[in-house]
Amino acid sequence: MAHITASVYTSHVPAIGATIDMDKTAEPYWQPLFKGYEFSKQWMKDNQPDVIFLVYNDHATAFSLDMIPTFAIGTAAQYAPADEGWGPRPVPVVQGHPALAAHIAQSVIQQDFDLTIVNHMDVDHGLTVPLSLMCGQPQAWPCPVIPFAVNVVQYPVPSGQRCFNLGQAIAKAVSSYDEDLKIQIWGTGGMSHQLQGPRAGLINKAFDNAFLDKLIADPQAAAAMPHIDYVREAGSEGIELVMWLIARGAMSDVNEGKAAPTVAHRFYHVPASNTAVGHLILENT
Ligand code: DHB
Ligand code: FE
């Protein structure tokens, strides 16, 4: 059977992608940030999954205000890097896993989550920046990726609790797939940041670190936080953090009564662009 081996959490700041693409990672401003991902790139090589289930948000790139799916699962064979206004990032095309994605869609929809099925879409920095941070600059990404897009751009957005429960449904779906696949689930976006309005530039280190603590040790409590608290404490775009709860809800301590996950890596850095960057790797025991 397929099983989830680990979860990865990381911010997806677009300037990080531009810095990698323009070969500026050694610049003094960026060097401390990329140092925090050196462990992660080696860890990826040492813990190669068969498939990455990548929870992210589209930033009005593939979707727009014309149509706003709350949860959308990619069932395509391929996803091209999107042109977000300055040309597509020079990164590999993302290979999908249509069979596993279709199975997860079937199982999760039957568990009463209404997913939008996406057979064609381009993927923006929300998906490609986490891949770059974790995998570097390979000719091809190391494995197929199932994109799972969450609406955190246009209110109303899903609650942290619903995201956590959805993670549990995804874990159940994975465990009923009849092929011995190692799956990683990634929750991306965050941490505290606000890109517009009078509070633009907001960073809340105390909130971010408390969120990381809670996500690791008491994910049910993290899931119970109402969405308004994210906005107040972490800024209007800090709401992206609810996506981390999907990944956390899929871990084996939550679903199989196993021991708490091992913290393989934890990193926090300010600033990157106008954003606080947070990163965790949790391994199932
Ligand atoms: C920025 C954009 C994002 O989508 C994000 O999550 C963080 C920062 C930015 O434009 O700087
Ligand atoms: Fe974002």
Locate the domains of the chain by residue range. Answer: 3-283
Ligand 1 pocket test: pick from 89, 152, 195 the residue with the most ligand atoms within 8 Å of its Cβ.
195
**In this structure, which topology does domain 3-283 adopt according to CATH?**
Protocatechuate 4,5-dioxygenase; Chain B (3.40.830)
pLDDT at residue 265, as a whole number: 98
Per-residue pLDDT reduced to its tens digit, 15-64: 999 999 999 999 999 999 999 999 999 999 999 999 999 999 999 999 99
Whole-number pLDDT of residue 225: 98
Query: Amino acid identity, residue 68?
Result: I
Q: Which of 12, 97, 193, 279 is catalytic?
A: 193
| pLDDT for the residue 164 | 98
pLDDT average, residue stretch 6-11: 98
Residue 14 Cβ < 6 Å to ligand 1: yes
Q: Give the pLDDT score at 155.
A: 93
Q: Cis before residue 226, ω within 30 degrees of 0?
A: no
The percentage of the chain sitting over the pLDDT mark of 70, rounded to a whole number, equals 100
The average pLDDT across 164-179 equals: 98
Distance 27 CA to ligand 1 centre (A): 20
Ligand 1 atom nearest residue 12's Cα: 6
pLDDT digits 0-9 by tens, 203-236: 999 999 999 999 999 999 999 999 999 999 999 9
Does ligand 1 come within 6 angstroms of the Cβ of 278? no
**Residue 120 designated active-site:** no
Q: What is the mean pLDDT of the chain?
A: 98
Catalytic site residue 103? no
Structure tokens at 221: 């409590």
Q: How far is the C-alpha of 261 from the C-alpha of 253, rounded, in Å?
A: 7
C-alpha 157/C-alpha 149 separation (Å) is 12
| For residues 66-91, average pLDDT | 97
> What's the rounded Cα separation, in Å, for the pair 160 and 148?
16
- Ligand 1 pocket mutation pick from 9, 12, 13, 153 by most atoms within 8 angstroms of CB: 13
